[in-house]
Amino acid sequence: METDERRVLASFAQKSGDSRGRKYREPSHAYRTEFQRDRARIIHSRAFRRLEYKTQVFLNGTGDHLRTRLTHSIEVASISRTIARSLSLNEDLAEAIALAHDLGHPPFGHSGEEMLAECMRAHGSFDHNRQSLRVVELLESAYPNFAGLNLTFEVREGLRKHQAFYDPPTPAEEKYRCPSLEAQIANLADEITYYSHDLDDAVDFEILSAPQLEEDAVWQRSHRAVLARYPGAREPELHKLIIRDIIDVEVQDVVTTSAQSIVDAGVQSADEVRKQQAPLIRYSDYLLEANRELRRFLYENVYYHPRVAAVNRRACEMLRKVFEAYVVDPDRLGEAATKRIEAEGLHRTVCDYIAGMTDRYLMEEYARMKPE
């Protein structure tokens, strides 16, 4: 399989056989590449299974067909593979990063993250991207000889999103600005997925009206395109066709624009990609601006909609009170977690514990505490 990668993938793809390896040395596998092993370790982790019961936007359990963190991660992985395949890049690496990118997300979606960051303001703050790294490097305990999942450098690199500089695998090497192209793909696939599917869920949840949707350029363009192909289309099928078209347009734009930017940069290896001053996987200028407007539209009309915000406020107040209760009485955390307090500090240990909770478990814990 490693030989096939060298034959089939582009010169600038990250090859499994060129991986910088794992923190703890392990023998290679007989019939799986390093990135295929990483994907399996992520899928079989407890943190990954818990994503099924964590909110994406709409509180988990409020609708049978609404996205969860798990379905979102699977959808990001699917789009990542499509883009990677189109650019002759390493699909297994892009998929592994995509599947792991939200392992550190706390309960109650973005509102839960904001509340946890508030609780941790004086203690190092909280960011779900950094937390995903903590999960795979420290908090998962599946192996007897080391903490974490011992993933390859390249997958962990891909989880270090939004950094000005990336740390190399050894101190002797220089820091660099860009991760692998596969990591860049997973990052944009995440955006494409939540732009489109948060819209889809909002329409299903009936908090966006047709006039509101027509205010957004991305929706307008796909609406017109769908009706041109299917003039008789009506709801509920119509908006599903529109969402599908939005995704297709976004993916095609990223593939076409990125292919040209790679050619223009003249990169010939994965390490040359890392030396670039800016990512090579990108949208066209037009779609970049349109997506910025779509993001603003989602925040104004979906994420802070009263039907979403009111429920999330109540849930986040539960999170805050549970956090405070654990700080006062850390024995509630259980033996495994309390053992980390000396090394990690009380507040970070409490933060780790709560970030790992599902929505349901946190609400149950809140009910057990019966706070005043």
Q: What is the CATH number of the domain that holds 60?
A: 1.10.3210.10
The total domain count for the chain is: 1
Q: Can you tell me the distance from the alpha carbon of 101 to that of 147, in angstroms, rounded to the nearest whole number?
A: 19
359 pLDDT more than 80: yes
Phi first, then psi, for residue 267 (nearest 5°) are -70, 145
What is the tens place of the pLDDT at every residue in 207-253? 998 889 999 999 999 999 999 999 999 988 999 999 999 999 999 99
pLDDT band at 29 (very low <50, low <70, confident <90, very high): very high
* pLDDT on residue 61: 67
* pLDDT on residue 64: 74
- Contacts of residue 320, Cβ cutoff 8 Å, sequence gap at least 6: 115, 118, 119
371 pLDDT more than 60: no
Q: Can you tell me the distance from the alpha carbon of 177 to that of 167, in angstroms, rounded to the nearest whole number?
A: 9
Q: What is the pTM of this model?
A: 0.95
59 pLDDT more than 80: no
Phi first, then psi, for residue 202 (nearest 5°) are -65, -35
* pLDDT on residue 346: 97
Could you tell me the residue range of the domain that residue 198 belongs to? 2-369
Query: What is the pLDDT averaged over residues 198-204?
Result: 91
Interior/surface letters 221-234, b for 16+ CB within 10 angstroms, e for the rest:
bbbebbeeeeeeee
372 pLDDT more than 60: no
* pLDDT on residue 311: 84
CA distances from 199 to 108, 185, 208, 209 (A): 18, 21, 8, 11
* pLDDT on residue 6: 96
Mean pLDDT of the chain: 94
Q: Is 28 exposed, middle or buried (0-12, 13-18, 19+ CB in 10 A)?
A: exposed
